[in-house]
Amino acid sequence: MVKIGTPRPARPADISVRALVKQYPGTSSPAMAGVDLDIAAGEFVCVVGASGCGKSTLLRILAGFEDATAGQVTVSTEPVRGPGPERGVVFQDYGLFPWLTVAENVAYGPRQARLAKREVTARTERALETVGLSRLASSFPQQLSGGMQQRVAIARVLANQPAVLLMDEPFGALDALTRSSLQRELKRIHRETGTTVVFVTHSVEEAVYLADRVVVMAGGTSHGNSGYVREVVEIGLPEPRDVTGEAFNELKRRIDRLIHLPNATAPAPRSSGGVPVAS
Ligand SMILES: Nc1ncnc2c1ncn2[C@@H]1O[C@H](COP(=O)(O)OP(=O)(O)OP(=O)(O)O)[C@@H](O)[C@H]1O
Ligand SMILES: [Mg+2]
């Protein structure tokens, strides 16, 4: 139960990706080309696709860790020019500072932003409460399980009250039970904060459970072409989602088929505006 209020972003952000191309230095062809995507403010989008199709590349460009070779990425109409606290990033390896306590890890962003001490404390407490770790505030990361460390990583990002949460296989290293409990928590956090979420996963089941829409990417240089968006699947299942239901499994099968379609049947990459914004 949330007692003192989940940190909310100042305002949720929409994301627009237009004709995005990424070619890494020293490579002969783009890793990703012709990617168009519109994500509505507050939407939860999962990105799936075979290894090497450019999921992490797309996420790193959204995060501002990589520059695009061509095309445009805007968040709330602002072009992305580098990393920023309004875009929180969570990776598979938790990336916590081992020499700081849990609370100090979470307070790091607000401190860097030079917020008043009272505000730093309030945000840290709220973020830890949101992920259910208040009682471990003075522990060190290495004293915690993987699932708890990933909770700290999520709290650390939430303390910045990001408008966008970018997650690259965040639960990939966790056991099945921990993973499903973090999935439920993430859904709750999304509901409470209204943050826009872009979540990369290899698990189709996880994508269908979490997402409003699932972006299926395909291609990639190891398949002889560039990564691109093959299709965007609207999930449209009521909450709470019944993972054993026929509708859920039909969506899973459809997305699995899309992931495994041979690349020879791939359409030419779209140049603009091919993917609708969810209404
Ligand atoms: N820094 C880099 N320099 C050169 N090539 C890169 C670099 N990073 C990624 N690539 C290449 O770009 C392509 C897309 O990689 P990316 O990591 O985005 O794929 P992915 O879909 O996230 O794969 P996975 O599911 O295995 O995580 C791959 O062919 C990869 O080898
Ligand atoms: Mg990846």
Cα-based distances in Å from 169 to 5, 22, 92, 272: 27, 21, 5, 27
Is 5 contained in some domain? Answer: no
Q: Whose CA is nearest to atom 3 of ligand 1?
A: 24
Residue with the smallest CA separation from ligand 1 atom 17 is: 56
pLDDT tens digit string along 165-224?
999 999 999 999 999 999 999 999 999 999 999 999 999 999 999 999 999 999 998 888
**Ligand in closest contact with the CA of 32:** 1
Please list, in sequence order, all residues whose beta carbon lies within 8 angstroms of the beta carbon of residue 245, skipping any fewer than 6 positions away.
none
User: What pLDDT does 10 receive?
Assistant: 58
Measured CA to CA, the distance from residue 41 to residue 277 in angstroms comes to: 10
What tokens appear for 23 in the block?
Answer: 């070619």
The last residue of a domain, from among 122, 139, 161: 161
CA distance 21 to 204: 25
Residues 6+ apart with CB under 8 A from 205: 243, 252
Residue 61 CB less than 6 A away from ligand 1:
no
* Residue of 194 and 10 predicted with greater confidence: 194
Nearest-angstrom CA–CA distance, 100 and 29: 42
The ligand 1 atom nearest the CA atom of 22? 12
Say whether pLDDT at 109 is over 90. yes
Last residue in a domain, options 161, 191, 222: 161
Mark whether 55 and 35 lie in a shared domain.
Answer: yes
Domain for residue 68, yes or no?
yes
Judgement on whether residues 63 and 190 belong to the same structural domain of the protein: yes
149 pLDDT tier (thresholds 50, 70, 90):
very high
Query: Looking at the 3D structure of the chain, how many domains does it have?
Result: 2
Do 240 and 172 lie in one domain? The reply is yes
Instruction: Judge whether 6 lies within some domain.
Output: no
Taking CA atoms only, the protein residue closest to ligand 1 atom 25 is: 51
Question: Whole domain around residue 108: which residue ranges?
Answer: 92-161
Domain annotation covers residue 213: yes
Structural domain includes residue 7: no
In a shared domain, residues 136 and 196: no
149 touches 139 (CB < 8 A): no
247 plus 125 within the same structural domain = no
**Ligand 1 atom with the shortest distance to the CA of 222:** 29
- Which pLDDT band, with edges at 50, 70 and 90, does 6 fall under? low
Do 81 and 173 belong together in one domain?
yes
Percent of residues, the chain, with pLDDT higher than 70: 91
Question: What tokens appear for 263 in the block?
Answer: 């690349």
Asked if residue 168 and residue 66 are part of one domain, the reply reads yes
pLDDT score recorded for residue 118: 98
Task: Quote the pLDDT of residue 276.
Answer: 35
Q: Is residue 121 located within the same domain as residue 202?
A: no
Residue 3 inside a domain? The answer is no
Say which residues have a Cβ less than 8 Å from residue 18's Cβ, sequence separation at least 6.
Answer: 36, 71, 72, 73, 272, 273
186 lines ligand 1 (CB under 6 A): no
**Ligand positioned closest to the Cα atom of 58:** 1
